[in-house]
């Protein structure tokens, strides 16, 4: 489908962007995984006589407002947040893409129903949705995943439907169908290559949305049960100390930035 | 495209004159409390603090009762009949004259609503010439104190609809409302027909800002003149600003752990004492509240002189002793480092609420400190209503609460509720002390007299020993005051902001 | 817009209303925590909520009544456009929403306009030269503003514009300039995404046949852009911003709280915390209707910009 031939240098640059992105993501996840082996300790252990200490010998990345080791907390938080982001965006993409394809290929009643469902979800205040779910089981993880995923899937759905609709009636897809290939093959061969880049871009932003939603919910005192370290929750807990200890306050934000950047580079590298 | 750009530039140019905004011509007050309603029983505090409406009885800075809308009062010998003489020539903001009937009307409506008056044994409230007569079914000494509470403020008859709902706040105070935008904003101006001296400050604004960061920045930028509840993390920064002065006033409020004394782990007084010994109060006061003096070494803070024990042994931080007491109570440390008795782990759930931002932090600190002696605590951050609700259905294990000991200047009314036999919604839980009940009953009848002091002491001592509630820290109100304003008086009972006493600084 | 579309929108509006009612109905029944206690806490505050207050609330509101009856009566009132009274403040829900929605729309519209001047122009610039330094800078700043939480952006803006420069008010509302900082905070977040969308759309348009033809027939880059590019780039941006407008109105709790701005998100959170059912239902209902209206508006605008017939 590409209109312009991709020159050699351009392909190299795309490849390089992708590699940088993957490398960054790998580094972050490795940091989260290896951290506990590098520094022994408990991310919940407090030291009230050493609060908000600056990065130094004793605490490599400093301590938070309760004197907890930032290094240990960040590594633990990466594991939790990456898991939250991955699960929510994966759930959202799965629902969004499959319903989108259903709507685009079947048309008729299927399209009406799925579109109505999507519009209704968009129209219902997302905040209401998340807060209701969280209120059902306060302090646990699943309502957060579910609530955020229920907001994110709509975007994936709308994008998939829009992209697949013209494809579904294209001669190439018709021919493949006539040849007797199943829907999975059609998806792999025709739909996914077109969708891939957009799904990944939306997921990259979706991952950021997920983590920032946890932070926003923390802002209104709803969210993860303390003392579980999570990037969004840490941002909000450290917020009161933004002027007193900016170096500590910025750490979870920097990690989130790197995470979003890496996902964007991976996704963006694939576009064109 | 260029058209839109042009329009944008025009808008920018039009907005420019506003950017040179000078200090507002009114005193700007900022506080965290939102104006939830017009009803005094719900949001009366804000109308009281801004001196829009007044109560029959007032309180001076020491907590003594002084005349408010009632010029004087006396009581019958048996303490059951109270006569309040109404101040003459008092006008409401709508111009109507305050009469005994209007006062009775307000009090009767207040009594039907949750507040303080519905908790007093009031038999009748009637008008009698220039006085109103309040008849009690039994002697109740805190009644005078109850009449200082915002839920008993006197409003004009036109303020209520036929079913007693407040439709407009028409008070008698030196300030009348000129703008009311719940939940965040209110503006008042001087009421020229006020019965007392005319204030110097002509206009004042109130803004509710929920986040401590916002309030600190409002003080820092000079937009606000008096900012209440400065968060501990901002105090030092603001104190360095030349245009600001940081003032602190002790509050009759305490952070404490409410323990379910019927919980299998907590029924033993030794365990309760051990839990208290395992709390690093100094660390919490230093690191979270940033104010070492706030360590609660007993239930009543020093500002409550009548109740504070100056010579009691303070609560200590001693994990060794805590471990020892737990061992005595039959709990031993298992291989995983957790306390165990007959195959049962010592597990508790601490319920707290985020309305006061320090509570979740203190909960996290207590959780970690208890972990070091082997107590496994989980934290549930919920709504403040969960504490009384789960007290009632008996499912609460531990509540980390912030309790206002003197909702009205006299704490007796609160103590009677909190330490009633079997406990109270915000007090003890499944705990009884016949001795304490007897003393409180005596105090309720007698009120302020010679023996009261000794009885107060005994109350404090019982609470100190039996530990149905573990005190953690006291409170103070931290206020940032702009140097543009002088004569700012901070009320320790948080009843009034005293704007009527403030003056602009001429220098 | 044809009749079928209008019919669909009306149907959608009713469905949304029904779902909102159902959702809050279920909430009342399913959510843990005693309703009367929650409402009492919302009304009287944490110093006065106790079993006595909760009992009074229970009696006053008749909370022990049949839930199905309550649901039906809400729906009946709704059909007559009666949103009822708030259980917490005792004020008319209609008035409260009017006040708060006004402020929210004000903030959202300002944010949207500001973001239009930041996001799309940068995105188009990046799209003209994909892979260039500008493209990368735009990507980087887009990621920065997408991954920094709103409260951090807001605080930095306050410190720059209010504390240091003394140009704009820190927080509050009423002053004509009060809206600038909260709106800018939101706008930066919006621009982060709309710049990406504009960039991708621009690249696609530049690769299209009509655009290439325009170039071949001798038009300059800017001529082709304004004749053929802009319209086509606008469609996805309008669609995106239309959706974002809704997010803005509800999802700005953080910004509203930080800037003490009396918006609908803030009040919705309070209503949910206090289980103020008429307020939740009213807010959600009005926002649902607004969404439906905006959706229709987006369709209309897109048709205006790109009159070709297409499947919605």
Q: Per-residue pLDDT tens for B340-377?
A: 888 888 899 999 998 888 899 999 999 999 998 999 99
Q: Which residues on B lie below 8 Å from C92 (Cβ)?
A: none
B410 pLDDT more than 90:
no
Query: How much is the ipTM here?
Result: 0.85
Closest partner residue to B233 among A48, A66, A241, by Cβ? A241
* A44/B378 touch (CB, cutoff 8 Å), yes or no: no
* A225/B233 touch (CB, cutoff 8 Å), yes or no: no
Residue C292 tokens read as 């439906």
Under CATH, what is the fold of the domain B253-475? Dipeptide-binding Protein; domain 3 (3.10.105)
B2 pLDDT more than 50:
no
**Residues B43-67, mean pLDDT to the nearest whole number:** 91
Which residues pair with residue B181 across a beta bridge?
A: B185
Measured distance CA(B3)–CA(C226) in Å, rounded: 14
Q: Which residues on C lie below 8 Å from A249 (Cβ)?
A: 152
* A45/B368 touch (CB, cutoff 8 Å), yes or no: yes
Measured distance CA(B325)–CA(B125) in Å, rounded: 54
- C74 belongs to a structural domain: no
Residue that has been written with the tokens 């900016």 in this structure: A246
Measured distance CA(C80)–CA(B100) in Å, rounded: 44
The predicted pLDDT at position B11 comes to 52
How far C90 CA lies from chain A's nearest CA (Å)?
22
**Domain spans, chain B:** 253-475
What are the residue ranges of helices labelled H in C129-165?
A: 133-147, 150-158
The predicted pLDDT at position C29 comes to 66
A146-150, B175-179, B460-464: which is most confident: B175-179
Residue A42 CB neighbour total at 10 angstroms: 13
Measured distance CA(B69)–CA(B103) in Å, rounded: 9
Instruction: Give one DSSP letter per residue of C279-293, joined into a string.
Output: HHHHHHHHHHHHHHH
Q: Which residues on C lie below 8 Å from A110 (Cβ)?
A: none
Q: Which residues on B lie below 8 Å from C34 (Cβ)?
A: 385, 389
Residue A88 near residue A206 (C-beta atoms within 8 A): yes
* A116/C295 touch (CB, cutoff 8 Å), yes or no: no
Instruction: Give one DSSP letter per residue of B431-472, joined into a string.
Output: ---HHHHHHHHHHHHH-SSTTHHHHHHHHHHHHHHH-SEEEE
Contacts of B320 (CB under 8 A, 6+ apart): none
The predicted pLDDT at position C293 comes to 81
Interface of chain B against chain A, CB under 8 Å? 212-213, 231, 233-234, 236-237, 280, 283-284, 286-288, 354, 357, 360-361, 363-365, 367-369, 371, 378-382
* C163/B182 touch (CB, cutoff 8 Å), yes or no: no
SS3 sequence, B366-422?
HHHHHHCCCCEEEEEECCCCHHHHHHHCCCCCEEEEEEECCCCCCCHHHHHHHCCCC
How far B130 CA lies from chain C's nearest CA (Å)?
33
How far C254 CA lies from chain A's nearest CA (Å)?
6
Map out the domains of chain A with their CATH numbers.
Answer: 2-41+76-267 (1.10.3720.10)
Measured distance CA(C39)–CA(C57) in Å, rounded: 7
Chain C contact for A205 (CB, 8 A cutoff): yes
Q: Which residues on A lie below 8 Å from B359 (Cβ)?
A: none
Residue A232 tokens read as 């969004």
B13 pLDDT more than 60:
no
Measured distance CA(C201)–CA(A164) in Å, rounded: 17
Q: Where residue C193 sits, what CATH number does that domain have?
A: 1.10.3720.10
For C127, the enclosing helix (H) or strand (E) is helix C93-128
What are the residue ranges of helices labelled H in B126-250?
A: 143-146, 212-221, 232-239
Chain B contact for C168 (CB, 8 A cutoff): yes
B339 pLDDT more than 60:
yes
Residue that has been written with the tokens 């010579």 in this structure: B311
In the structure, what pLDDT confidence band is assigned to residue B193 with cuts at 50, 70 and 90? Answer: very high
Residue from C13, C26, C143, C268 to probe the interface with A (highest A Cβ count within 10 Å): C143
Residue B379 tokens read as 């934290």
Measured distance CA(B486)–CA(A236) in Å, rounded: 36
Q: Which residues of chain C have pLDDT under 70?
A: 1-4, 24, 27-30, 32-33, 65, 246, 249-251, 308-312
**Residues B319-325, mean pLDDT to the nearest whole number:** 92
By C-alpha distance, the chain A residue nearest C265 is A127
Buried b (16+ CB within 10 A) or exposed e, C269-280: bbbbbbbbbbbb
Hey, what's the torsion of the CAs at B302, B305, B306, B308, to 10 degrees?
Answer: 20
Residue B104's alpha-carbon distances to B120, B142, B155, B235, B398, in angstroms, are 16, 19, 10, 45, 42
Chain C contact for A54 (CB, 8 A cutoff): no
| Centroid of chain to Cα B340 | 39
**Residues B189-202, mean pLDDT to the nearest whole number:** 93
The CB-based long-range contact list for B140-144 (8 Å cut-off, 24+ gap) reads B140/B79, B140/B444, B141/B79, B141/B410, B141/B412, B141/B443, B141/B444, B141/B445, B141/B446, B141/B447, B141/B448, B142/B408, B142/B410, B142/B412, B142/B413, B142/B416, B142/B444, B142/B447, B143/B82, B144/B57, B144/B65, B144/B73, B144/B82, B144/B410
Q: Identify the DSSP state of B293.
A: G
How far A84 CA lies from chain B's nearest CA (Å)?
21
Strands (E), B260-382: 332-333, 339-341, 344-345, 347-352, 376-381
By C-alpha distance, the chain C residue nearest B425 is C50
* A236/C151 touch (CB, cutoff 8 Å), yes or no: yes
**Residues B414-439, mean pLDDT to the nearest whole number:** 87
Chain B contact for C43 (CB, 8 A cutoff): yes
Chain A contact for C139 (CB, 8 A cutoff): yes
By C-alpha distance, the chain B residue nearest C86 is B37
Measured distance CA(B254)–CA(B359) in Å, rounded: 11
Residue C236's alpha-carbon distances to A158, C223, C240, in angstroms, are 12, 21, 6
Measured distance CA(B488)–CA(C238) in Å, rounded: 53
Instruction: Give one DSSP letter per residue of A217-234, joined into a string.
Output: HHHTT-SSPTT---HHHH
Which residues pair with residue B246 across a beta bridge?
A: B480
Instruction: Give one DSSP letter per residue of A61-109, joined into a string.
Output: T-B-TTS-BHHHHHHHHHHHHHHHHHHHHHHHHHHHHHHHHHHHHH-HH
How far B398 CA lies from chain C's nearest CA (Å)?
17
* C172/B36 touch (CB, cutoff 8 Å), yes or no: no
Residue C33 near residue B385 (C-beta atoms within 8 A): yes
> What percent of the residues of chain B are helix, what percent strand, and what percent coil, each to the nearest 5?
30, 25, 45
A52: left (phi over 0), alpha (psi -120 to 50) or beta: left
Closest partner residue to C147 among A125, A165, A257, by Cβ? A257
Domains contained in chain C, number: 1
Q: Identify the DSSP state of C249.
A: H
Residue A67 tokens read as 């004197």
For chain A (272 residues), the mean pLDDT of every run of 10, in chain order, is 45 75 88 77 80 82 86 87 87 92 84 83 78 76 84 86 82 83 83 82 81 80 78 85 89 87 70 38
Residue from A52, A53, A226 to probe the interface with B (highest B Cβ count within 10 Å): A226
Residue C76 CB neighbour total at 10 angstroms: 10
* B384/C40 touch (CB, cutoff 8 Å), yes or no: no
Contacts of B422 (CB under 8 A, 6+ apart): B430, B431, B432
Percent of all residues in chain B with a pLDDT value above 70, rounded to a whole number? 94
Please report how many Cα atoms fall inside a 13 Å half-sphere around the Cα of residue B430, on the Cβ side. 19
How far B400 CA lies from chain C's nearest CA (Å)?
13
Chain B contact for C155 (CB, 8 A cutoff): yes
Closest partner residue to C158 among B114, B217, B382, by Cβ? B217
* B368/A44 touch (CB, cutoff 8 Å), yes or no: yes
**Residues B414-441, mean pLDDT to the nearest whole number:** 87
* A271/C200 touch (CB, cutoff 8 Å), yes or no: yes
Chain C contact for A232 (CB, 8 A cutoff): yes
Residue from A217, A230, A235, A243 to probe the interface with B (highest B Cβ count within 10 Å): A243
Residue B401 tokens read as 């609460």
For A115, the enclosing helix (H) or strand (E) is helix A108-123
Supply the range of the domain harboring residue C170: 108-263
- Residue C100 burial by Cβ neighbours in a 10 Å radius (0-12, 13-18, 19+): buried
For B280, the enclosing helix (H) or strand (E) is none
Closest partner residue to C272 among A124, A128, A136, by Cβ? A128
């Amino acid at each position: 489908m590409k209109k312009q031939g991709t020159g050699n240098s351009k392909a190299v640059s795309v490849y390089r962007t992708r590699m940088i992105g993957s490398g960054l993501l790998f580094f972050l996840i490795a940091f989260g995984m290896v951290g506990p082996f590098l520094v022994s300790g408990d991310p919940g252990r407090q030291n009230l006589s050493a609060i908000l200490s600056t990065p130094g010998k004793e605490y490599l990345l400093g301590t938070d407002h309760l004197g907890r080791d930032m290094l240990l907390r960040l590594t633990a938080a990466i594991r939790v947040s990456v898991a939250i982001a991955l699960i929510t965006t994966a759930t959202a993409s799965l629902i969004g893409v499959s319903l989108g394809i259903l709507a685009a290929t079947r048309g008729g009643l299927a399209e009406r129903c799925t579109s109505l469902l999507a519009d209704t979800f968009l129209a219902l205040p997302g905040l209401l949705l998340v807060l209701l779910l969280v209120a059902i089981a306060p302090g646990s993880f699943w309502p957060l995943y579910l609530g955020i995923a229920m907001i994110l899937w709509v975007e994936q759905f709308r994008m998939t439907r829009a992209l697949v609709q013209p494809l579904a009636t294209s001669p190439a897809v018709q021919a493949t169908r006539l040849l007797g290939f199943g829907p999975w093959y059609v998806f792999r061969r025709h739909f996914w290559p077109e969708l891939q880049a957009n799904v990944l871009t939306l997921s990259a932003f979706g991952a950021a949305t997920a983590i920032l939603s946890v932070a926003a919910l923390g802002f209104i005192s709803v969210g993860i049960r303390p003392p579980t370290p999570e990037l969004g929750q840490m941002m909000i807990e450290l917020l009161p100390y933004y002027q007193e200890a900016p170096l500590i306050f910025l750490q979870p934000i920097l990690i989130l930035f790197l995470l979003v950047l890496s996902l964007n580079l991976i996704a963006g590298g694939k576009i064109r | 495209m260029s058209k839109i750009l042009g329009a944008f530039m025009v808008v920018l140019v039009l907005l420019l004159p506003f950017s040179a905004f000078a200090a507002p011509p009114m005193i700007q007050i900022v506080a965290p409390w939102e104006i939830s309603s017009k009803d005094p029983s719900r949001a009366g505090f804000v109308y009281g603090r801004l001196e829009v409406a007044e109560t029959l009885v007032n309180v001076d800075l020491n907590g003594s009762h002084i005349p408010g809308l009632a010029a004087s009062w006396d009581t019958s010998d048996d303490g059951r009949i109270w006569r309040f003489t109404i101040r003459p020539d008092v006008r409401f903001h709508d111009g109507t004259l305050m009469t005994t009937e209007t006062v009775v009307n307000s009090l009767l409506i207040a009594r039907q609503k949750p507040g303080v008056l519905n908790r007093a044994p009031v038999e009748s409230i009637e008008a009698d010439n220039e006085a109103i007569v309040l008849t009690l079914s039994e002697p109740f000494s805190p009644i005078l104190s109850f009449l200082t509470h915002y839920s008993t403020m006197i409003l004009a008859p036109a303020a209520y609809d036929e079913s007693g709902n407040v439709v407009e706040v028409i008070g008698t105070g030196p300030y009348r409302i000129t703008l009311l935008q719940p939940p965040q904003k209110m503006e008042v101006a001087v009421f020229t027909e006020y019965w007392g001296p005319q204030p110097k400050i002509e206009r004042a604004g109130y803004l509710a800002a929920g986040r401590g960061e916002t309030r600190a920045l409002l003080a820092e930028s000079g937009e606000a003149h008096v900012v209440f509840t400065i968060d501990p993390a901002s105090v030092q920064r603001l104190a360095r600003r030349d245009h600001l002065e940081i003032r602190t006033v002790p509050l009759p409020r305490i952070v404490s752990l409410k323990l379910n004394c019927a919980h299998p782990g907590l029924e033993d007084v030794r365990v309760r004492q051990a839990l208290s010994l395992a709390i690093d109060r100094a660390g919490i006061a230093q690191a979270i509240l940033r104010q070492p003096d706030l360590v609660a070494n007993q239930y009543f803070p020093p500002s409550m002189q009548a109740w504070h024990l100056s010579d009691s042994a303070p609560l200590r931080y001693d994990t060794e002793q805590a471990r020892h007491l737990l061992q005595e109570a039959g709990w031993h440390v298992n291989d995983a480092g957790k306390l165990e008795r007959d195959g049962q782990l010592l597990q508790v759930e601490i319920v707290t609420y985020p309305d006061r931002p320090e509570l979740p932090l203190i909960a996290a600190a207590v959780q970690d400190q208890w972990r070091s002696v082997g107590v496994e605590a989980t934290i549930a951050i919920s709504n403040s209503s969960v504490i009384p609700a789960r007290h009632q259905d008996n499912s609460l294990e531990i509540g980390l609460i912030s309790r206002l000991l003197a909702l009205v200047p006299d704490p007796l009314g609160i103590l009677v509720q909190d330490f009633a036999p079997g406990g109270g919604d915000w007090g003890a839980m499944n705990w009884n002390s016949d001795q304490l009940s007897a003393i409180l009953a005596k105090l309720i009848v007698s009120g302020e007299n010679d023996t009261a002091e000794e009885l107060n002491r005994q109350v404090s001592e019982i609470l100190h020993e039996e530990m149905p509630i573990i005190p953690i820290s006291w409170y103070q109100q931290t206020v940032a005051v702009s140097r543009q304003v002088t004569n700012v008086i901070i009320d320790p009972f948080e009843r009034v902001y005293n704007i009527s006493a403030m003056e602009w600084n001429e220098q | 817009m044809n009749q079928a579309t209008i019919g669909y929108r009306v149907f959608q509006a009713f469905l949304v209303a029904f779902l909102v009612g159902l959702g809050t109905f279920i909430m009342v029944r399913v959510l843990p925590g005693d309703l009367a206690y929650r409402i009492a806490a919302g009304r009287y505050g944490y110093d006065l909520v106790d079993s006595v207050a909760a009992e009074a609330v229970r009696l006053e509101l008749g909370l022990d009544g049949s839930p199905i009856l309550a649901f039906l009566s809400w729906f009946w009132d709704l059909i007559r456009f009666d949103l009822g009274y708030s259980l917490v403040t005792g004020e008319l829900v209609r008035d409260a929403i009017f006040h708060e929605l006004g402020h929210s729309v004000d903030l959202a519209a300002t944010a949207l306009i500001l973001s239009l001047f930041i996001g799309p122009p940068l995105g188009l610039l990046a799209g003209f030269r994909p892979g260039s330094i500008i493209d990368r800078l735009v990507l980087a700043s887009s990621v920065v503003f997408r991954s920094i939480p709103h409260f951090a952006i807001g605080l930095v803006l306050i410190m720059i514009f209010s504390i240091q420069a003394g140009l704009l008010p820190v927080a509050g509302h009423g002053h004509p300039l009060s809206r600038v900082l909260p709106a800018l905070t939101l706008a930066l977040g919006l621009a982060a995404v709309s710049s990406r969308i504009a960039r991708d759309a621009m690249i696609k348009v530049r690769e299209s046949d009509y655009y290439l033809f325009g170039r071949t027939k001798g038009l300059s880059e800017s001529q082709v852009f304004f004749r053929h590019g802009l319209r086509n780039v606008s469609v996805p941006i309008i669609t995106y911003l239309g959706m974002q407008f809704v997010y803005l109105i509800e999802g700005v709790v953080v910004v509203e709280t930080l800037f003490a701005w009396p918006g609908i998100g803030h009040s919705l959170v309070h209503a949910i915390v206090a289980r103020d059912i008429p307020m939740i239902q009213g807010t959600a209902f009005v926002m649902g209707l607004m969404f439906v209206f905006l959706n229709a508006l987006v369709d209309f605008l897109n048709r205006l910009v790109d009159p070709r017939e297409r499947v919605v």
